[in-house]
């Protein structure tokens, strides 16, 4: 890891130098104002100094990362297969009827975790008598059952007239910033609200730049929070806003700390909604780990991104049953504001049983 400093008359000038030299993946360590050098430096306008860290990855390292990712994926699939074999070998309740076992296989093929699929079908077997029912009738009953498990969908609630904060949390690379922009654009189009944007994602140059582009397009003010002092200043400056949408750093889920600035901000706000943004393409083992890392947050809703890139929707049901938190939106592309919609639980249930 190497450290470099960039100086400019404005933050934008210093950031431009940094981005040109190191690219978008540099990590910002600090931003401060400094006096100009020279005998009369104290009389001149202060300069802005940005300190950044960067690390060059060689080709061999990148190839190793790709191979490691592939190995982890194969290990997860192997683990699930072993779990299924050992579970079937152990003492357990009577085997499912063939009709229900076929649907269990279908759920697993569509990404539902083995244990979850088994539990759902075993419970269903106890609740209904399948002897006098056709496959279509069983499928219809299973669809309704899955919809009940998915639960009521809860999109953004704007009924409260007090100032509202909307937080977007989640791991790196899931599309939090773009998702925030889509919801912000929807609110702008309604024409009812005075809106502001806040970001605490100062770890990557690209993250701030991306949200700055959206703020310019939507003509919404943006505040960047580098410290607790910045946080309190932003709250004062935005006290006239009806809605504040807050983007957060997409760090590795293993590095989350509940004493971070963002969590201090969350705990200080009464009227808020928190969205945990997850990617539909994430492997179940990783998804489970992410959810566990955010378990200290008592109340949130779930948004699933990259649904257009997903081979199946099993993780949507998996996440719901792991968290017992309401599902809200899915995103289906990069277009702002079009590629976002309220999750349709009937469509998800249909896809899990092979109707779509």
* Structure-model confidence comparison of residues 291 and 80, the more confident one: 291
For residue 188, what pLDDT is reported? 94
Range of the domain at 24: 2-54
Residue 159 in any domain: the answer is no
177 occurs within a structural domain: yes
Least confident of 11-15, 108-112, 148-152, 215-219: 11-15
Residue 213, domain member (yes or no): yes
Same domain, 328 and 236: yes
Mean pLDDT, residues 64-70: 63
Q: In this structure, are 121 and 185 located in the same domain? A: no
Mean pLDDT of the chain: 84
> Tokens at residue 87, please?
């579970």
What pLDDT score does 76 carry? 66
> Does residue 109 sit in the same domain as residue 231?
no
- How buried is residue 336: exposed, middle or buried, by Cβ count under 10 Å (0-12/13-18/19+)? buried
- Residue whose token pair is 């998800």: 348
Task: Flag whether 157 is in a domain.
Answer: no
pLDDT of 336 = 86
132 vs 174, which has greater pLDDT?
174
Let me know if 240 is exposed, middle or buried by CB neighbors in 10 A (0-12, 13-18, 19+): exposed
Q: How confident is the model at residue 9 (pLDDT cuts 50, 70, 90)?
A: confident
Confidence of residue 20 (pLDDT cuts 50, 70, 90): confident
Q: Give the pLDDT score at 43.
A: 60
Number of domains present in the structure of the chain: 4
Q: Is the pLDDT of residue 89 over 50?
A: yes
* The predicted structure's pLDDT at residue 59: 47
| pLDDT tens digits for range 36-46 | 776 555 566 78
Residues 124 and 50 in one domain: no
Separation of alpha carbons 330 and 301, rounded Å: 12
Higher pLDDT, 202 or 324: 324
Based on the fold, state whether residues 86 and 47 are members of the same structural domain.
no
Whether 117 and 261 map to the same domain: the answer is no
Look at 71-75, 118-122, 182-186 and tell me which has the smallest mean pLDDT: 71-75
pLDDT tens digit sequence for 264-281: 888 888 899 999 999 999
Are 24 and 123 members of one domain? Answer: no
Instruction: Give the model confidence (pLDDT) of 295-319 as tens digits.
Output: 888 899 999 999 999 888 999 999 9
Q: What pLDDT sits at residue 161?
A: 83
Lowest mean pLDDT among 133-142, 143-152, 261-270, 297-306: 261-270
Residue 343 domain-assigned (yes or no): yes
Evaluate if pTM is beyond 0.85. no
Please give the Cα distance from 64 to 144 (Å, whole number).
45
Tell me the per-residue pLDDT of 335-354, one tens digit each, with 9 for 90 and over. 888 899 999 999 999 999 98
């Amino acid at each position: 890891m190497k450290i470099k400093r960039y100086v400019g008359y404005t933050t934008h000038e210093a950031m431009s130098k940094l981005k040109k030299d190191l690219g978008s993946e540099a990590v910002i360590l600090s931003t401060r104002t400094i006096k100009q050098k020279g005998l009369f430096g104290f009389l001149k306008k202060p300069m802005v100094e940005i300190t950044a860290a960067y690390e060059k990855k060689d080709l061999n390292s990148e190839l190793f990362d790709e191979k490691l990712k592939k190995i982890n994926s194969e290990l997860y699939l192997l683990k699930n297969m072993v779990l299924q074999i050992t579970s079937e070998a152990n003492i357990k309740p009577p085997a499912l009827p063939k009709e229900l076992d076929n649907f269990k296989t279908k759920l697993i093929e569509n990404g539902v975790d083995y244990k979850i699929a088994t539990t759902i079908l075993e419970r269903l077997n106890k609740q209904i008598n399948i002897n006098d029912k056709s496959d279509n009738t069983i499928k219809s009953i299973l669809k309704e059952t899955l919809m009940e498990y998915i639960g009521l969908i809860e999109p953004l609630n704007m009924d409260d007239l007090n100032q509202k904060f909307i937080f977007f949390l989640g791991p790196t690379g899931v599309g939090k910033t773009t998702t925030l922009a889509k919801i912000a654009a929807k609110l702008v189009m309604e024409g009812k609200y005075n809106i502001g944007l806040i970001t605490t994602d100062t770890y990557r140059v690209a993250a701030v730049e991306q949200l700055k582009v959206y703020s310019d397009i939507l003509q919404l003010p943006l505040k960047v929070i580098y410290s607790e002092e910045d946080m309190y200043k932003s709250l004062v400056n935005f006290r006239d806003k009806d809605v504040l949408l807050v983007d957060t750093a997409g760090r590795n889920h293993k590095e989350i700390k509940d004493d971070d600035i963002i969590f201090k901000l969350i705990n200080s706000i009464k009227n808020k909604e928190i969205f945990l943004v997850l990617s539909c393409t994430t492997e179940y083992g990783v998804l489970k780990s992410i959810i566990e890392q955010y378990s200290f947050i008592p109340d949130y809703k779930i948004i699933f991104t990259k649904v257009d890139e997903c081979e199946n929707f099993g993780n949507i049901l998996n996440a719901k049953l792991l968290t017992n938190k309401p599902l809200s939106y899915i995103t289906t592309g990069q277009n702002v504001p079009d590629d976002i919609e309220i999750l349709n639980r009937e469509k998800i249930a249909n896809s899990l049983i092979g109707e779509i």
